[in-house]
A and B are shown apart, each in its own frame.
Chain A
Amino acid sequence: MTYLQARGVVRSYGPTPALRGVNLDIAEGEVVAVTGPSGGGKSTLLHCLAGILRPDAGEVRWRGERIDTWSEAARSRLRRSTFGVLFQFGQLVAELTAAENVALPLLLAGTGRREARTAALTWLERLGVADLADNRPGEMSGGQQQRCATARALVTEPRVLFADEPTGALDTLTGEQVLTSLVRLAREQGTSVVLVTHEPRIAGYADREVVLRDGVVDHGGLGLETPLAGGRR
């Protein structure tokens, strides 16, 4: 079943075009890597798909229903109940412990305190950082913080997880450990993943790769519309 659908999505920042008509389908449980050079529009596309940004033109559909026309409040509810997001720097709340950070999305969704804490501990355990439950982000390494952020993104058992360069700030081994857990746990619960990365190696974790270049999907993946030989004398 098609979960997310972008049709002719256009988005600019003032005079700067970021997306110039993007089409993309993401199926239930599918792990899709969005790759391409920096400035190609990857983050903007992720924000449009997740309902954080509104496209200037085109449509975004969630299970067939247009969400780009929804109010900010309605999109925000959808994000809280159905989507999870994970950024390059975990963006944990500095004043809260790991367990409190992970419990936060559940508390916002109205889950009781005790239940939220239990679920948070379960997810910290799944990400291999149960022993850090009562530590604050300042007392953790980058990799440990990213594991907590992953737990926080998955604790609501979202239908889609949006991850923007989730390993960009980590060393190779730590990054791959975080990603392996993330993809494995997402697959276990049938969560689709939109994985933004500029690294070919990271795209290897996905079922499929979509290359964005200059705000459009590049089907050859290499930017081959630019002149190649011919002019070389």
Chain B
Amino acid sequence: MNSERVSVPHVLLGLLAAGPRHGYELKRAHDERLPQARPLAYGQVYASLGRLQRDGLVVAAGQEREGGPDRTAYALTDEGRAALNRWLAETELPMPYVSSTLFAKVAVALLVDDVDRTRSYLAAQRQAHTARLRELTAAKTALSASLDDVVAADYAIAHLDADLRWLQTTLDRVADWHREVHS
């Protein structure tokens, strides 16, 4: 789907907006609030916190005895809050590049003369997309689903739905084009 990189430091700033937290709490909060995102690695959390601290956006807020970063709670500074607000106010460039592997494969497949292989790739890809769509729909309609779960599933479902429509439209378009050229 979308291979756009998410700014982990900004997400961490957002998670700290409610009050100081430890690194492991941040990881847990991240995975909970962004349930369909790739889970954060601890290393990534501490590396990002280190950079945020260096830039003065967070400060260590009390340490339990001595110890490493896992013993430290971090708090947002005023500059941190300002950086978070700037990030939230900034409009994202809508699709500056079309960077999906699905798109690239279909574009390349249309150039390649191996029709059978292309067909079986597309059929398999469609099946995989549909299966994932069913899985996400089941997850979000489960009685136990939280609002976070539903919102995350909605996002993924909307994109899979768009991919499937685009795939079908492209095939129909190519078939149409082919008919015109050869009639």
B51 at the interface (CB under 8 A from A): no
- Assuming the contacts A183-B141, A200-B164, asked whether A232 and B178 have C-beta atoms less than 8 A apart, the reply is yes
Interface residue count on the A side (C-beta < 8 Å): 25
Complex alpha-carbon distance, A184 and B127, angstroms: 24
Nearest A residue (CB) for B137: A204
B130 at the interface (CB under 8 A from A): yes
Chain B's nearest CB lies how many Å from the CB of A62? 27
B167 at the interface (CB under 8 A from A): yes
Complex alpha-carbon distance, A130 and B21, angstroms: 46
Task: List residues 106-126 of chain B with CB under 8 A from any CB of chain A.
Answer: 109-115, 118-119, 122-123, 126
Task: List residues 206-233 of chain A with CB under 8 A from any CB of chain B.
Answer: 206-207, 209, 220-224, 226-232
> By the criterion CB–CB under 8 Å, are A229 and B161 in contact?
no
> By the criterion CB–CB under 8 Å, are A200 and B130 in contact?
yes
Complex alpha-carbon distance, A224 and B167, angstroms: 11
> By the criterion CB–CB under 8 Å, are B175 and A223 in contact?
yes
A203 at the interface (CB under 8 A from B): yes
Contacts of B105 in A (CB 8 A): none
Annotate B155-183 by CB proximity to A: 1 below 8 A, 0 otherwise. Answer: 00110110011011001101101100110
Checking B110, B129, B164 against A228 with a beta-carbon cut-off of 8 angstroms, the contacting residue is: B110
Nearest B residue (CB) for A36: B168
> By the criterion CB–CB under 8 Å, are A184 and B141 in contact?
yes
> By the criterion CB–CB under 8 Å, are A228 and B127 in contact?
no
> By the criterion CB–CB under 8 Å, are A200 and B160 in contact?
yes
Annotate A177-215 by CB proximity to B: 1 below 8 A, 0 otherwise. Answer: 000100110000000000000011101111101000000
> By the criterion CB–CB under 8 Å, are A203 and B141 in contact?
no
> By the criterion CB–CB under 8 Å, are A227 and B122 in contact?
no
> By the criterion CB–CB under 8 Å, are B126 and A221 in contact?
yes
Residues of chain B touching chain A, judged by Cβ–Cβ distance below 8 Å, are 109-115, 118-119, 122-123, 126-127, 129-130, 133-134, 136-137, 141, 157-158, 160-161, 164-165, 167-168, 171-172, 174-175, 177-178, 181-182
A-B contact pairs, 26 of them (CB 8 A): A37-B172, A183-B141, A199-B161, A200-B130, A201-B133, A204-B130, A204-B133, A204-B136, A204-B137, A220-B122, A220-B123, A221-B127, A222-B167, A223-B175, A224-B119, A224-B122, A226-B171, A226-B175, A228-B109, A228-B115, A229-B110, A229-B112, A230-B115, A231-B181, A232-B174, A232-B177
Which 9 pairs show the lowest CB-CB distances between chains A and B?
A204-B137, A226-B175, A220-B123, A204-B133, A200-B164, A201-B161, A224-B119, A227-B178, A231-B178
